[in-house]
Amino acid sequence: MRPPVALLFVSLLASCGSRSGLSTSDEAGSASGGSSGGAATGGASSGGAGGSDAQAGLCPPGSPPVVLVGEAHDAYGIALDASHVYFTRAPSSGSGLVQRVPKTGGAVETLAAGQSRPRSLVVDQTHVYFTTPTSGEVKRVRKDGAALTVLASFQNFPEGIAVAGSWLFWVRSSAPGGKLMRLALPDGQPEVLVDGINDAWALAEHSGWLYYTAGSTSTSVSPRIQRFGASWSPGTPPETLALIDLGMHALAVDATHVYYSTNPDLGRVAKAGGAPVTLFGGGFFVRGVYAAAAHVYFVESAGAGAPEGAVHRYDKTSGQLETIATAQHVPRAVAADTDCVYWTNSGFQSAGGSVMRGPR
């Protein structure tokens, strides 16, 4: 049975109040949207090279969405490698999970259990890295589920995470006092790169630059998108690309632009900075974003007046908006490869979550 529309609306609206707390709203997502690394990641993400996104194969054009994992209550962040979909489940109970499932479907593997609301995650060739905001930790686990390791603790609400070469980066969302952090892999010590970035949630790495959100409408630092050179020395002042009217949830980056989501909108700003441009407006809790070669994929957690959300894509050339999937139960994060688009549905009141696959 579907929850009453009014009840879902109230619950979602309440989750998007103060962004300094930990509600069930999708604040970062993988870089992550809010993370970036491996073959592809959710939350903050970067697309591949090439022309058309869609190719015949696992997800032929026009084929219906496929449920890879059903009853994945509180499914949240998403990341991909060549063979698997990695995802977090972030219940408020503290019994969170990091899991994976083959892209073709099959048995779900639990890589880490008993985690404190894991949200953003990123993968490289051998490991999965993730943040647990409520316990203030950054962790690593091998892709086969072995060697779970705490890389950093006492991080005060770590959220978006990214990996680039031999470095791991993340943002701390505490307000006041948010920070951009880094750690030399495999077992270096955490370093502060940028301090005082209140309410930093989303993070993406692209071509040697770290892009992140900072500030909120409820703090003294107004919402903005900033970037920092991945090779810059700690304490170097970051570059501000644009001020945004509303707090942001996710970032994605391609060769020319940074894409971001707010509660009602999908927007973009040039990587060199400039005025933000709204690509999709008037939405209802826009969350995860993924930038591919020809399209930007994003999720809308619920439609106005309806309890279901949707997955959309925006054509970078024509500006045309197309809906890929409807009747999705509170989608959170999205990622894509050359054949398919994947997303998480968190469900409602710890029921009805899923991990999905559909054509690009």
Residues 64-112: tens digit of each pLDDT: 999 999 999 999 999 999 999 999 999 887 789 999 999 999 999 999 9
101 — phi, psi (to 5°)? -145, 145
Helices (H) and strands (E) in the chain, counts: 1, 30
pLDDT at 351 over 70: no
- 115 is written with which tokens? 């985690």
pLDDT, position 282: 84
List pLDDT tens digits, range 250-274: 999 999 999 999 989 999 999 999 9
CA 65 to chain centre: 20
Q: Are strands 45-46 and 340-345 parallel, antiparallel or unpaired?
A: unpaired
Number of independent structural domains in the chain: 1
Strand 224-229 to 209-214 pairing? antiparallel
Instruction: Name residue 233's amino acid.
Output: S
Residue 159's pLDDT is: 94
pLDDT at 11: 39
Q: CB of 349 within 8 A of CB of 318?
A: no
Q: Output the CA–CA distances (angstroms, integers) from residue 218 to 19, 21, 199, in the order listed.
A: 8, 11, 9
How much is the mean pLDDT over the chain?
Answer: 83
Note the residue count of the chain: 360
Angstrom distance (rounded) from CA 201 to CA 27: 6
SS3 category, 9:
helix
Looking up tokens 């049975």 gives 1
The predicted structure's pLDDT at residue 32: 34
What number of CA atoms fall less than 13 Å from residue 72's CA on the CB side? Answer: 33
Tell how strand 257-261 and strand 191-195 pair up.
unpaired
> Which residue is listed with tokens 């974003």?
289
Checking if the pLDDT of 341 tops 70, the result is yes
Percentage of residues of the chain with pLDDT beyond 90: 67
- Taking alpha carbons only, the member of 44, 69, 89, 67 closest to residue 288 is 44
- C-alpha distances out from residue 92 to 22, 115, 134, 199, 345, Å: 9, 10, 9, 20, 16
CATH number at residue 10: 2.120.10.30
Q: What does the alpha-carbon distance between residue 118 and residue 291 come to, in Å, rounded to a whole number?
A: 23
H/E run at residue 15: helix 5-15
List, as one string, the DSSP characters of 172-207.
E--SSS-EEEEEETTT---EEEEE--TT---EEEET
For the four alpha carbons of 295, 298, 303 and 306, in that order, the dihedral sign comes to positive
Q: How far apart are CA 200 and CA 123, in angstroms?
A: 21
Write down the pTM of the prediction: 0.85
Domain containing 286 equals 5-359
| Gap between the Cα atoms of 173 and 167, Å rounded | 20
Calpha distance 308→2 (Å, rounded): 9
Higher pLDDT, 306 or 173: 173
Task: Please state, in angstroms and rounded to a whole number, the distance separating the CA atoms of residues 82 and 102.
Answer: 9
Tell me what the mean pLDDT of segment 164-179 comes to: 88
Query: How much is the average pLDDT of 285-310?
Result: 85
